[in-house]
Amino acid sequence: MTDTTDRSATPPARQTTAYLKDLFKQVGFTIDARRGQNFLVDLNLLDLLERSAGVTPADAVLEVGSGTGALTERLARAAGRVVTVEIDPRLAQLARERVIECDNVHLVEGDVLAGKHRLAPEVLTAIEKARAACPQGRLLLVANLPYCVATPVISNLLALPRPFDSATVTVQREMAERMTAAAGSHSYNALSVWIGSQCRSEIVRILPPSVFWPRPKVDSAIVRLDLEPDRRARIADLERFHGFVRDIFCHRRKVMRGVLIRMAGGKQQPAAVEAVEAVYAAFGLGATTRAEEIPPDQFVELEREFFQRVD
Protein backbone atom coordinates (compact mmCIF):
# COMPACT_ATOMS: atom_id res chain seq x y z
CA MET A 1 0.00 0.00 0.00
CA THR A 2 1.23 3.52 -0.71
CA ASP A 3 2.40 5.31 2.44
CA THR A 4 0.31 8.45 2.98
CA THR A 5 2.02 9.77 6.14
CA ASP A 6 2.36 13.59 5.95
CA ARG A 7 6.04 14.36 6.45
CA SER A 8 5.83 17.86 5.03
CA ALA A 9 4.96 19.47 8.38
CA THR A 10 8.54 20.15 9.57
CA PRO A 11 11.12 21.66 7.22
CA PRO A 12 14.16 19.53 6.37
CA ALA A 13 17.53 20.38 8.03
CA ARG A 14 19.72 22.60 5.84
CA GLN A 15 22.75 21.03 4.18
CA THR A 16 25.24 23.91 4.01
CA THR A 17 29.05 23.82 3.89
CA ALA A 18 29.18 24.89 7.57
CA TYR A 19 26.69 22.16 8.53
CA LEU A 20 28.70 19.49 6.71
CA LYS A 21 32.06 20.65 8.10
CA ASP A 22 30.64 20.59 11.58
CA LEU A 23 28.96 17.22 11.15
CA PHE A 24 32.07 15.61 9.65
CA LYS A 25 34.26 17.05 12.43
CA GLN A 26 31.93 15.62 15.07
CA VAL A 27 32.04 12.12 13.58
CA GLY A 28 35.68 12.26 12.39
CA PHE A 29 34.73 11.78 8.72
CA THR A 30 37.21 12.56 5.94
CA ILE A 31 36.00 12.92 2.37
CA ASP A 32 36.89 10.21 -0.14
CA ALA A 33 37.25 12.07 -3.47
CA ARG A 34 37.50 8.79 -5.45
CA ARG A 35 33.85 8.20 -4.58
CA GLY A 36 32.62 11.49 -5.98
CA GLN A 37 31.76 12.86 -2.54
CA ASN A 38 30.77 16.39 -3.58
CA PHE A 39 27.73 17.42 -1.60
CA LEU A 40 25.13 19.80 -2.98
CA VAL A 41 25.14 22.78 -0.60
CA ASP A 42 22.92 25.21 -2.48
CA LEU A 43 19.46 24.79 -1.02
CA ASN A 44 17.74 26.42 -4.00
CA LEU A 45 19.29 23.78 -6.23
CA LEU A 46 18.21 20.94 -3.96
CA ASP A 47 14.73 22.46 -4.35
CA LEU A 48 15.15 22.70 -8.11
CA LEU A 49 16.32 19.09 -8.36
CA GLU A 50 13.32 17.92 -6.36
CA ARG A 51 10.88 20.17 -8.24
CA SER A 52 12.24 19.20 -11.66
CA ALA A 53 11.78 15.54 -10.79
CA GLY A 54 8.07 16.16 -10.06
CA VAL A 55 7.90 13.51 -7.34
CA THR A 56 4.39 12.67 -6.06
CA PRO A 57 3.25 10.51 -3.13
CA ALA A 58 2.28 7.79 -5.63
CA ASP A 59 5.86 7.41 -6.89
CA ALA A 60 8.77 5.18 -5.95
CA VAL A 61 12.15 6.92 -6.06
CA LEU A 62 15.65 5.55 -6.45
CA GLU A 63 18.50 7.70 -5.16
CA VAL A 64 22.09 6.63 -5.81
CA GLY A 65 24.53 8.14 -3.32
CA SER A 66 22.67 8.96 -0.11
CA GLY A 67 25.57 11.04 1.28
CA THR A 68 24.38 12.44 4.61
CA GLY A 69 20.75 11.92 3.62
CA ALA A 70 19.87 15.56 2.84
CA LEU A 71 18.21 14.79 -0.48
CA THR A 72 16.94 11.44 0.81
CA GLU A 73 14.99 13.18 3.54
CA ARG A 74 13.35 15.54 1.05
CA LEU A 75 12.50 12.68 -1.27
CA ALA A 76 10.99 10.73 1.63
CA ARG A 77 8.65 13.65 2.27
CA ALA A 78 7.51 13.78 -1.34
CA ALA A 79 7.44 10.13 -2.48
CA GLY A 80 5.58 6.96 -1.58
CA ARG A 81 8.78 4.92 -1.25
CA VAL A 82 12.48 5.75 -1.50
CA VAL A 83 15.33 3.34 -2.16
CA THR A 84 18.65 5.01 -1.46
CA VAL A 85 22.05 3.41 -2.01
CA GLU A 86 25.31 4.42 -0.32
CA ILE A 87 28.67 2.67 -0.67
CA ASP A 88 30.47 4.44 2.17
CA PRO A 89 29.47 2.84 5.50
CA ARG A 90 30.24 6.03 7.44
CA LEU A 91 27.89 8.09 5.24
CA ALA A 92 25.31 5.30 5.20
CA GLN A 93 25.23 5.58 9.00
CA LEU A 94 24.75 9.37 8.85
CA ALA A 95 21.99 9.02 6.27
CA ARG A 96 20.31 6.27 8.29
CA GLU A 97 20.24 8.53 11.36
CA ARG A 98 18.87 11.39 9.32
CA VAL A 99 15.92 9.44 7.94
CA ILE A 100 15.29 7.34 11.03
CA GLU A 101 11.74 8.67 11.30
CA CYS A 102 10.92 8.01 7.65
CA ASP A 103 9.45 4.54 7.44
CA ASN A 104 9.17 4.74 3.65
CA VAL A 105 12.96 4.73 3.09
CA HIS A 106 14.97 1.60 2.33
CA LEU A 107 18.69 2.30 2.61
CA VAL A 108 20.90 -0.20 0.79
CA GLU A 109 24.46 -0.04 2.10
CA GLY A 110 26.85 -1.11 -0.65
CA ASP A 111 27.93 -0.56 -4.22
CA VAL A 112 25.03 0.20 -6.60
CA LEU A 113 26.88 -1.81 -9.25
CA ALA A 114 27.79 -5.48 -9.31
CA GLY A 115 30.27 -5.07 -12.17
CA LYS A 116 30.33 -2.62 -15.04
CA HIS A 117 27.25 -3.94 -16.80
CA ARG A 118 25.09 -4.96 -13.86
CA LEU A 119 23.24 -3.30 -11.00
CA ALA A 120 23.62 -4.92 -7.58
CA PRO A 121 20.95 -7.62 -7.02
CA GLU A 122 19.95 -6.16 -3.62
CA VAL A 123 19.30 -2.81 -5.31
CA LEU A 124 17.12 -4.47 -7.95
CA THR A 125 15.17 -6.32 -5.26
CA ALA A 126 14.66 -3.12 -3.28
CA ILE A 127 13.45 -1.32 -6.44
CA GLU A 128 10.93 -4.07 -7.17
CA LYS A 129 9.60 -3.93 -3.58
CA ALA A 130 9.26 -0.15 -3.79
CA ARG A 131 7.43 -0.43 -7.11
CA ALA A 132 5.08 -3.03 -5.67
CA ALA A 133 4.30 -0.63 -2.81
CA CYS A 134 3.51 2.14 -5.33
CA PRO A 135 1.38 0.32 -7.93
CA GLN A 136 -0.16 3.47 -9.42
CA GLY A 137 3.04 5.50 -9.48
CA ARG A 138 6.20 5.78 -11.52
CA LEU A 139 9.78 4.82 -10.79
CA LEU A 140 11.91 7.97 -10.67
CA LEU A 141 15.68 8.18 -10.41
CA VAL A 142 16.49 11.35 -8.48
CA ALA A 143 20.09 11.81 -7.42
CA ASN A 144 23.18 13.89 -7.17
CA LEU A 145 25.05 11.05 -8.85
CA PRO A 146 28.62 10.10 -7.95
CA TYR A 147 30.61 10.99 -11.08
CA CYS A 148 32.50 7.72 -11.04
CA VAL A 149 29.40 5.58 -11.67
CA ALA A 150 26.94 7.96 -13.34
CA THR A 151 27.22 6.41 -16.83
CA PRO A 152 26.88 2.73 -15.81
CA VAL A 153 24.03 3.53 -13.41
CA ILE A 154 21.94 5.23 -16.10
CA SER A 155 22.94 2.80 -18.85
CA ASN A 156 22.21 -0.27 -16.76
CA LEU A 157 18.87 1.09 -15.54
CA LEU A 158 17.86 1.67 -19.17
CA ALA A 159 18.80 -1.93 -19.99
CA LEU A 160 16.29 -3.33 -17.46
CA PRO A 161 13.00 -4.80 -18.70
CA ARG A 162 11.29 -2.11 -16.58
CA PRO A 163 13.58 0.92 -16.37
CA PHE A 164 12.85 4.24 -14.68
CA ASP A 165 9.99 6.34 -16.06
CA SER A 166 11.98 9.47 -15.52
CA ALA A 167 15.43 10.43 -14.22
CA THR A 168 16.44 13.81 -12.81
CA VAL A 169 20.09 13.81 -11.85
CA THR A 170 23.13 15.99 -11.44
CA VAL A 171 26.13 14.84 -13.47
CA GLN A 172 29.28 16.45 -14.84
CA ARG A 173 28.40 18.99 -17.53
CA GLU A 174 30.35 17.11 -20.17
CA MET A 175 28.36 13.98 -19.43
CA ALA A 176 25.09 15.95 -19.49
CA GLU A 177 26.04 17.21 -22.94
CA ARG A 178 26.72 13.65 -24.11
CA MET A 179 23.44 12.42 -22.62
CA THR A 180 21.43 15.03 -24.49
CA ALA A 181 23.54 15.38 -27.69
CA ALA A 182 21.91 15.19 -31.11
CA ALA A 183 23.50 13.48 -34.12
CA GLY A 184 26.21 15.61 -35.68
CA SER A 185 27.22 17.27 -32.40
CA HIS A 186 30.79 16.75 -31.19
CA SER A 187 29.42 15.31 -27.90
CA TYR A 188 27.33 12.63 -29.68
CA ASN A 189 28.47 9.15 -28.65
CA ALA A 190 27.21 5.69 -27.67
CA LEU A 191 25.55 7.05 -24.52
CA SER A 192 23.69 9.70 -26.57
CA VAL A 193 22.31 6.97 -28.86
CA TRP A 194 21.43 4.59 -26.01
CA ILE A 195 19.56 7.34 -24.15
CA GLY A 196 18.27 9.10 -27.27
CA SER A 197 16.68 5.91 -28.61
CA GLN A 198 14.52 5.52 -25.49
CA CYS A 199 14.14 8.91 -23.83
CA ARG A 200 13.41 12.56 -24.32
CA SER A 201 16.20 14.47 -22.61
CA GLU A 202 16.96 18.03 -21.53
CA ILE A 203 19.54 19.93 -19.52
CA VAL A 204 17.57 21.70 -16.80
CA ARG A 205 20.39 23.86 -15.39
CA ILE A 206 24.17 24.18 -15.61
CA LEU A 207 25.70 24.19 -12.11
CA PRO A 208 28.99 25.91 -11.28
CA PRO A 209 31.50 24.16 -8.95
CA SER A 210 30.58 26.59 -6.13
CA VAL A 211 27.22 24.88 -5.44
CA PHE A 212 29.03 21.77 -4.16
CA TRP A 213 31.29 21.16 -1.21
CA PRO A 214 34.05 20.25 -1.73
CA ARG A 215 34.11 22.04 -5.10
CA PRO A 216 34.63 19.77 -8.12
CA LYS A 217 37.05 20.95 -10.82
CA VAL A 218 34.39 21.18 -13.54
CA ASP A 219 30.83 22.40 -14.09
CA SER A 220 27.92 20.05 -13.51
CA ALA A 221 24.34 20.03 -14.76
CA ILE A 222 20.90 18.85 -13.77
CA VAL A 223 19.56 16.61 -16.55
CA ARG A 224 16.09 15.20 -16.94
CA LEU A 225 15.32 12.09 -19.00
CA ASP A 226 11.79 10.89 -19.72
CA LEU A 227 11.30 7.39 -20.97
CA GLU A 228 9.28 7.14 -24.20
CA PRO A 229 7.90 3.59 -24.11
CA ASP A 230 6.72 3.60 -27.74
CA ARG A 231 10.16 4.48 -29.04
CA ARG A 232 11.81 1.98 -26.68
CA ALA A 233 9.45 -0.75 -27.95
CA ARG A 234 10.94 -0.36 -31.44
CA ILE A 235 14.29 -1.70 -30.22
CA ALA A 236 14.24 -5.37 -31.24
CA ASP A 237 16.64 -6.64 -28.58
CA LEU A 238 17.87 -4.19 -25.94
CA GLU A 239 21.05 -6.04 -24.99
CA ARG A 240 22.04 -6.63 -28.60
CA PHE A 241 21.31 -3.00 -29.53
CA HIS A 242 23.34 -1.70 -26.58
CA GLY A 243 26.32 -3.87 -27.59
CA PHE A 244 25.98 -2.85 -31.25
CA VAL A 245 26.03 0.86 -30.42
CA ARG A 246 28.99 0.48 -28.07
CA ASP A 247 30.95 -1.54 -30.66
CA ILE A 248 30.33 1.00 -33.38
CA PHE A 249 31.35 3.98 -31.25
CA CYS A 250 34.51 2.18 -30.08
CA HIS A 251 35.72 2.86 -33.62
CA ARG A 252 34.15 6.27 -34.09
CA ARG A 253 37.10 7.62 -36.07
CA LYS A 254 36.63 4.92 -38.69
CA VAL A 255 33.92 4.98 -41.35
CA MET A 256 31.02 2.86 -40.19
CA ARG A 257 30.95 0.63 -43.26
CA GLY A 258 34.30 -0.95 -42.37
CA VAL A 259 33.24 -1.47 -38.77
CA LEU A 260 29.99 -3.15 -39.83
CA ILE A 261 31.79 -5.41 -42.31
CA ARG A 262 34.14 -6.51 -39.54
CA MET A 263 31.15 -7.14 -37.23
CA ALA A 264 29.50 -9.17 -40.01
CA GLY A 265 32.52 -11.47 -40.39
CA GLY A 266 35.26 -9.50 -42.17
CA LYS A 267 35.94 -8.35 -45.71
CA GLN A 268 37.28 -11.79 -46.70
CA GLN A 269 33.68 -13.01 -46.40
CA PRO A 270 31.73 -11.94 -49.52
CA ALA A 271 28.45 -12.51 -47.64
CA ALA A 272 29.48 -10.00 -44.94
CA VAL A 273 30.33 -7.33 -47.51
CA GLU A 274 27.11 -8.03 -49.42
CA ALA A 275 24.98 -7.80 -46.26
CA VAL A 276 26.48 -4.45 -45.31
CA GLU A 277 26.12 -3.12 -48.86
CA ALA A 278 22.45 -4.09 -48.72
CA VAL A 279 21.97 -2.29 -45.38
CA TYR A 280 23.68 0.79 -46.80
CA ALA A 281 21.48 0.72 -49.87
CA ALA A 282 18.31 0.28 -47.77
CA PHE A 283 19.19 3.35 -45.67
CA GLY A 284 20.65 5.44 -48.46
CA LEU A 285 23.94 5.82 -46.56
CA GLY A 286 27.03 7.15 -48.26
CA ALA A 287 30.28 5.14 -48.28
CA THR A 288 31.89 7.60 -45.86
CA THR A 289 28.99 7.98 -43.42
CA ARG A 290 30.15 8.04 -39.80
CA ALA A 291 28.27 6.78 -36.77
CA GLU A 292 28.02 10.28 -35.28
CA GLU A 293 25.86 11.41 -38.21
CA ILE A 294 23.11 8.86 -37.56
CA PRO A 295 20.22 9.87 -35.25
CA PRO A 296 19.12 7.41 -32.52
CA ASP A 297 15.87 6.30 -34.19
CA GLN A 298 17.71 5.52 -37.42
CA PHE A 299 20.28 3.56 -35.40
CA VAL A 300 17.45 1.39 -34.08
CA GLU A 301 16.25 0.58 -37.60
CA LEU A 302 19.77 0.11 -38.93
CA GLU A 303 20.64 -2.34 -36.16
CA ARG A 304 17.50 -4.37 -36.81
CA GLU A 305 18.19 -4.49 -40.56
CA PHE A 306 21.85 -5.38 -39.97
CA PHE A 307 21.04 -8.40 -37.77
CA GLN A 308 18.25 -9.53 -40.09
CA ARG A 309 20.78 -9.72 -42.89
CA VAL A 310 23.75 -11.01 -40.90
CA ASP A 311 22.27 -13.56 -38.48
CA 112, CA 87: separation in Å to the nearest integer?
7
Kindly tell me which of 36 and 57 has the beta carbon lying closer to ligand SAM: 36
- Mention every residue, 6+ apart, whose C-beta is less than 8 A from residue 162: 131, 139
Q: Does the N-terminal peptide bond of residue 135 adopt cis geometry, omega within 30 degrees of 0?
A: no
Q: Within a 10 A sphere around the Cβ of 240, how many other Cβ atoms?
A: 14
Minimum Å gap between C-beta 34 and ligand SAM is 9
Minimum Å gap between C-beta 130 and ligand SAM is 16
Kindly tell me which of 141 and 149 has the beta carbon lying closer to ligand SAM: 149
Q: Within a 10 A sphere around the Cβ of 47, how many other Cβ atoms?
A: 11
Determine the 3-state secondary structure of 40 from DSSP: strand
List interacting residues with ligand SAM (CB under 6 A): 35-40, 64-67, 70-71, 85-88, 91, 111-113, 144, 146, 148-149
Q: Which of 177, 158, 171 is nearest to 36 (CA)?
A: 171
Kindly tell me which of 37 and 201 has the beta carbon lying closer to ligand SAM: 37
Termini Cα distance of the chain = 46
Q: Which of 54, 135, 130 is nearest to 85 (CA)?
A: 130
Minimum Å gap between C-beta 153 and ligand SAM is 8
Kindly tell me which of 25 and 34 has the beta carbon lying closer to ligand SAM: 34
Kindly tell me which of 145 and 294 has the beta carbon lying closer to ligand SAM: 145
200 Cα distance to chain centroid: 13
Kindly tell me which of 40 and 264 has the beta carbon lying closer to ligand SAM: 40
Minimum Å gap between C-beta 38 and ligand SAM is 5
Kindly tell me which of 109 and 301 has the beta carbon lying closer to ligand SAM: 109
The answer to whether residues 203 and 223 touch, using CB atoms and an 8 Å cutoff, is: yes
Kindly tell me which of 38 and 151 has the beta carbon lying closer to ligand SAM: 38
Minimum Å gap between C-beta 13 and ligand SAM is 12
Minimum Å gap between C-beta 64 and ligand SAM is 6
Minimum Å gap between C-beta 103 and ligand SAM is 20
Q: Within a 10 A sphere around the Cβ of 225, how many other Cβ atoms?
A: 25
Determine the 3-state secondary structure of 99 from DSSP: coil
CA 306, CA 25: separation in Å to the nearest integer?
58
Q: Does the N-terminal peptide bond of residue 214 adopt cis geometry, omega within 30 degrees of 0?
A: yes
Minimum Å gap between C-beta 32 and ligand SAM is 7
Determine the 3-state secondary structure of 222 from DSSP: strand
